[in-house]
Amino acid sequence: MSDKPYSPGLEGIAAGITTISEVDPQHQKLAYRGYDIEDLANHATFEEVAYLLLMGDLPTRAQLEAFKAEVAAYRALPEELISLLRLCPQTAHPMDTLRTAVSFLGASDPDAGDNSHEANLRKAKRLLGQIPTIVAAAYHIKNGREPIAPRPDLGHAANLLYMILGAEQDEFNVKVFDASLILYAEHSFNASTFTARVITSTLADLHAGVVGAIGALKGALHGGANERAMETMLKIGDPEKAEQWVLDALARKERLMGFGHRVYRWGDSRVPTMTRLAEQLSRRVGNMKWHTMATIIRNVMEREKGMHPNVDFPCGYTYYLLGLPIELYTPIFAASRIAGWAAHIIEQQDNNRLIRPDCLYEGQRGRTWVPIEQR
């Protein structure tokens, strides 16, 4: 038996040092560059948070306006990429299409072979502008419609809503959506971010890291949980059926997506803000059905299993109330998390060391070669 330390899933193992975000599970706190996430979600815009993650500090007004203008200038996609989106299979998951599109952009990016700090910042800003457009354009093309051109006069959240829904949304809806993007923007060494850091620790380029991160985010145990959470609520259908439905699911030992977290044991620090906004949106649109159902499901899960919701749970029905297609919930997550991914890739390559963990071997030993005629 080996004396090497081992933790399944690397749980509790510190795999690196970062200055980007801090998760404090004991006090249910999350901070970006030292700023509490609730404070940012309540007062900042996504662009301010993206600037903070990439640059290290909150921007001045002049810096913010210059940053917004630069990112907005990258929103339009090259015609070659639009043609590629038209070739993607109708059956393709939107995350697969997004992954393919980002790979295409990596092959054509003017800084493709440059991993310097400044080149990585330029690539990050381009992807901040391009990924939302890809998400919306691919969705419309898949459904037989022409893409809706981005609006440079709209902010990140407002523009993404406009490109998906085809109409400019009111200020409150934009604020709710913007706050969700802030909450999704970064979360330490999560699976997709760690994937991006491993890939780029080999000195692969930023786009390669983002392609890998998109692949990791697609999984139901990571970004796909918000889609599964809403699909579960649609299956239940009626708040009055929610408690018994959950009890029956638990008896069958089914896993409910949107509950539990590898880091948070006593509740996801992002949930209170997202739940409050979800309730406000529900009241505003005059539809309390999903919020009522969510409250019942949450109470049953906490009572029966001691499990608390993660941010994907309230985000699922918030996006549903905003009219967003369920298949786009995870790509929207990516349109936000690109800020965190890029910040981590830049941090990794600014002070790089190849990430190459060890493993424990439990296979057979001492076997002797047998010629194929004797097997």
If you search the block for the tokens 């802030």, which residue do you land on? 182
The secondary element (H helix, E strand) that includes residue 21 is strand 21-24
The secondary element (H helix, E strand) that includes residue 22 is strand 21-24
Q: Give DSSP secondary structure letters for 264-319.
A: -SS--TTHHHHHHHHHHHHHHHT--HHHHHHHHHHHHHHHHH---B-THHHHHHHH
Residue 44: how many other CB atoms lie within 10 Å:
20
If you search the block for the tokens 């523009």, which residue do you land on? 159
Q: Give DSSP secondary structure letters for 314-373.
A: HHHHHHHHTT--GGGHHHHHHHHHHHHHHHHHHHHHHT-----------S--S-----GG
Q: Is 261 annotated as catalytic? A: yes
In this structure, are residues 157 and 25 in contact, taking their beta carbons and an 8 Å threshold?
Answer: no
Give pairs for 26-31: CB < 8 Å, separation 24+: 28/264, 28/266, 28/267, 28/268, 28/269, 29/269, 30/187, 30/269, 30/270
Say how many residues make up the chain.
Answer: 375
Q: Is 344 annotated as catalytic? A: no
From the candidates 109, 111, 205, 312, which is the catalytic residue? 312
From the candidates 156, 207, 261, 291, which is the catalytic residue? 261
In this structure, are residues 148 and 162 in contact, taking their beta carbons and an 8 Å threshold?
Answer: yes
Q: Is 222 annotated as catalytic? A: yes
Buried b (16+ CB within 10 A) or exposed e, 126-139: bbbbbbbbbbbbbb
Q: Per DSSP, what are the bridge partners of residue 29? A: 24
Catalytic residues, by residue number, are: 222, 261, 312
